């Protein structure tokens, strides 16, 4: 499992991401490389809560809960939350403002595949 | 086959100054008539109640028992309870009734020993020591919810929307994961009009701020799970002497139940060191990181953990006392909310749409708490949280 931390550290610096965290779906931070101003435990709780909320919203609005990702845009950048391992984990990626959305999506996709394989 | 209601069977004996009864069934609200008959029956100076056939005692049942024992004591009849199971013994000790237990000293209560006290009456608005939060007809209400986990956020949000529609007023939803009782008492004037609180926080709000109890989740009580890491080879409590335990708050039913459960299992809880992490999920994180050996956690929260987290832990023990519960409280001065909510909330389980909201909140329905249950809970709160701690917790001086 230490391999997962290495993957996170490597991709974060390689792709110049602001932060990456792998969480359990109930909000426990498993591996993280987050900016100093982010408190990992609180972030994990909020991110997992947001995923649960988004899933519920999707269920209510579209009658299904097969959620691909949740994207939150702000002036400071983007937060992308994606389910992993049948929804048991949540990948959270913070991207900088100057990164194009398509580029962020591609990075998140690659990261998901890599982590999914490493977690198995 | 026995239907679960309480039955008492006298057992023949040689001693004319004593009589034994074998009790079978559950001691709950339905036990009142059987216990009343016992209290009024012609009896010798000593009675022994054999609890080996009693499956469980809940808070309503404990209140009935206490009432019966008081009547018997007034009649100068000595009562002794024998063969109570572990949970019932724990309940007796928690509520200061251990002197009725024949084997009460087998696992003595450690430093959380509670002093016996008269049960306080349930609070009423007239007894409120704090001024009412002024009604603000035009402003929106505030609804603070002590979330048991972040996964419940969506359900409570939908519930808030449902309330707004049904009450035709704007309600601001304030989810909270912090212990409400630790809010600075000076901030009382900023209190929410509706609060869904943990058992002891609700007691603090009722006793210290004059909040009124309105509803409780149907059939849902606060129980404690004692968890260790799955890779910890120790599999019995006695092996955890001198260990480190993490739990969310020292002023909680979970902490109290956890300690009594340890004591009742023969592990002196005063030998352990406790870390109070603020939130249960943080306590769990300390466990998984190896910084503590054990965690006390609300059973409800444990059940809602992901399989990933659950597989990393091992459930060592769990309480089953049916004593404490979360409470939906309304602020003093907001009596006008009572009647519509008393009508609205219990009916939620009768309609498909509102039933879905309840499901998302992880509760079966709403029901008003019984007076006896509240009295027992308040008695426990006052017995446990006393002196300066009570003043700090409720914002008022201890009586």
Query: Mind listing the pLDDT tens digit for each residue in A22-63?
Result: 999 988 889 999 999 998 888 888 899 899 889 988 988 888
* A-B contacts at Cβ under 8 angstroms: 58
The pLDDT, as a whole number, for residue B122 is 39
Q: Is B178 within 8 Å of chain A by CB?
A: no
Q: Long-range contacts for B123-126 (Cβ within 8 Å, ≥24 apart)?
A: B123/B206, B123/B207, B123/B210, B123/B212, B123/B213, B123/B378, B125/B210, B125/B212, B125/B332, B125/B335
Q: Do B306 and A26 touch (CB under 8 A)?
A: yes
Strand partners, B8: B23
The pLDDT, as a whole number, for residue B177 is 62
Q: What angle do CA B4, B8, B13 make, to 5 degrees?
A: 145
- For chain B, 399 residues long, give each residue's pLDDT as a single digit of tens: 566 789 999 987 777 788 999 999 999 999 999 999 999 999 999 999 999 999 999 999 999 999 999 999 999 999 999 999 999 999 999 998 999 998 655 665 555 533 333 334 434 333 444 445 555 555 689 999 987 677 778 889 999 999 999 999 999 988 876 533 333 333 444 579 999 999 999 999 999 889 999 999 999 999 999 999 999 999 999 999 999 999 998 889 999 999 999 999 999 999 999 999 888 888 998 999 999 999 999 999 999 899 899 999 999 999 999 999 999 999 998 988 999 999 999 999 999 999 999 998 989 999 999 999 999 999 999 888 765 555 655 554 433
Establish whether this prediction's ipTM goes over 0.85.
no
Smallest Cα distance from A58 to chain B, Å:
11
Q: Is B151 within 8 Å of chain A by CB?
A: yes
Q: Do B308 and A24 touch (CB under 8 A)?
A: yes
The helices-and-strands tally (H runs, E runs) of chain B is: 13, 15
Query: Mind listing the pLDDT tens digit for each residue in A56-84?
Result: 889 888 888 788 899 999 888 899 999 99
Q: Are B229 and B288 in contact (CB under 8 A)?
A: yes
Instruction: Give the closest residue to B205 by CA, choosing from B99, B305, B128.
Output: B128
Sort B115 into a burial class: Cβ within 10 Å, 0-12 / 13-18 / 19+: exposed
The pLDDT, as a whole number, for residue B113 is 37
Buried b (16+ CB within 10 A) or exposed e, B335-364: eebeeebeebbeebbeeeebeebbebbbbe
Strand duo A19-24 + A89-95: pairing: antiparallel
Smallest Cα distance from B150 to chain A, Å:
5
- Chain B interface test: which of A4, A21, A27, A67 (most B C-beta within 10 Å): A27
**Angstrom distance (rounded) from CA B313 to CA B288:** 8
Q: Do B306 and A53 touch (CB under 8 A)?
A: no
Q: Measured in whole angstroms, how far is the alpha carbon of residue B123 from the centre of its chain?
A: 17
Residues of A with CB under 8 A from a CB of B: 24-29, 41, 44-46, 48-49, 52-53, 55-57, 60, 85, 88-89
Shortest CB distance from B151 goes to which of A49, A85, A89? A49
The pLDDT, as a whole number, for residue A86 is 85
The pLDDT, as a whole number, for residue A66 is 84
The pLDDT, as a whole number, for residue B105 is 53
Q: Do B150 and A45 touch (CB under 8 A)?
A: yes
Instruction: List chain A residues with CB under 8 Å of B177.
Output: 45
The pLDDT, as a whole number, for residue B395 is 53
- Chain B interface test: which of A21, A29, A44, A45 (most B C-beta within 10 Å): A45
Question: φ, ψ for residue B350 (rounded to 5)?
Answer: -95, -10
Residues 360-399 of B with CB under 8 A from A: 360
Smallest Cα distance from A28 to chain B, Å:
7
Q: How far is CA B348 from CA A42, B77, B364, in A?
A: 33, 47, 9
Give the 3-state secondary structure percentages of chain A, helix then strand then coil, rounded to 5.
Answer: 45, 25, 30
């Amino acid at each position: 499992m230490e391999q997962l931390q290495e993957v996170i550290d490597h991709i974060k610096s390689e792709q110049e991401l602001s932060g990456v965290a792998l969480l359990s779906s109930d909000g426990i931070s498993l591996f993280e490389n987050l900016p100093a101003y982010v408190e990992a435990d609180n972030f994990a709780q909020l991110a997992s809560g947001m995923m649960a909320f988004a899933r519920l919203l999707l269920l209510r609005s579209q009658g299904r809960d097969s959620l691909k990702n949740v994207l939150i845009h702000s002036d400071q950048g983007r937060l992308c939350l994606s389910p992993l391992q049948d929804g048991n984990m949540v990948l959270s990626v913070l991207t900088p403002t100057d990164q194009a959305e398509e580029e962020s999506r591609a990075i998140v996709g690659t990261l998901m595949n890599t982590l999914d394989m490493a977690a198995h | 086959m026995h239907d679960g209601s309480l039955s008492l069977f006298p057992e023949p004996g040689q001693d004319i100054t004593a009589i034994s009864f074998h009790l079978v069934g559950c001691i709950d609200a339905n036990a009142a008539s059987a216990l009343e008959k016992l209290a009024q029956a012609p009896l010798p100076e000593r009675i022994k109640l054999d609890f080996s056939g009693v499956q469980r005692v809940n808070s309503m049942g404990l209140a009935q028992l206490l009432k019966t024992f008081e009547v018997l004591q007034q009649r100068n009849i000595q009562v002794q309870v024998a063969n109570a199971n572990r949970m019932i013994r724990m309940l007796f000790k928690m509520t200061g009734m251990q002197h009725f237990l024949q084997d009460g000293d087998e696992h003595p209560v450690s430093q959380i020993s509670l002093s016996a006290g008269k049960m306080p009456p349930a609070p009423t608005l007239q007894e409120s020591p704090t001024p009412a939060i002024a009604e603000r007809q035009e402003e929106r209400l505030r609804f603070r919810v002590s979330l048991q986990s972040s996964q419940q956020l969506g359900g409570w949000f939908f519930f808030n929307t449902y309330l707004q529609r049904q009450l035709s007023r704007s309600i601001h939803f304030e989810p909270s994961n912090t212990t409400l009782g630790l809010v600075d008492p000076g901030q009382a004037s900023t209190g929410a009009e509706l609060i869904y609180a943990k058992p002891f926080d609700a007691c603090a709000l009722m006793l210290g701020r004059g909040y009124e109890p309105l509803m409780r989740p149907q059939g849902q009580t606060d129980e404690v799970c004692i968890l260790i890491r799955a890779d910890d080879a120790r599999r019995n409590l006695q092996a955890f002497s001198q260990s480190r335990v993490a739990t969310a708050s020292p002023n909680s039913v979970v902490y109290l139940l956890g300690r009594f459960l340890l004591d009742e299992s023969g592990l002196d809880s005063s030998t352990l060191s406790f870390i109070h992490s603020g939130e249960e999920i943080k306590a769990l994180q300390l466990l998984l990181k190896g910084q503590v050996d054990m965690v006390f956690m609300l059973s409800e929260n444990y059940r809602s953990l992901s399989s990933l987290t659950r597989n990393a832990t091992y459930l060592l023990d769990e309480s089953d006392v049916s004593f404490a519960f979360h409470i939906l409280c309304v602020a003093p001065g907001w009596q006008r909310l009572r009647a519509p909510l008393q009508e609205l909330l219990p009916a939620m389980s009768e309609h498909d749409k509102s039933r879905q909201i309840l499901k998302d909140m992880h509760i079966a329905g709403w029901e008003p708490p019984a007076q006896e249950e509240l009295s027992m809970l308040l008695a426990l709160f006052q017995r446990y949280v006393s002196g300066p701690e009570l003043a700090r917790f409720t914002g008022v001086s201890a009586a």
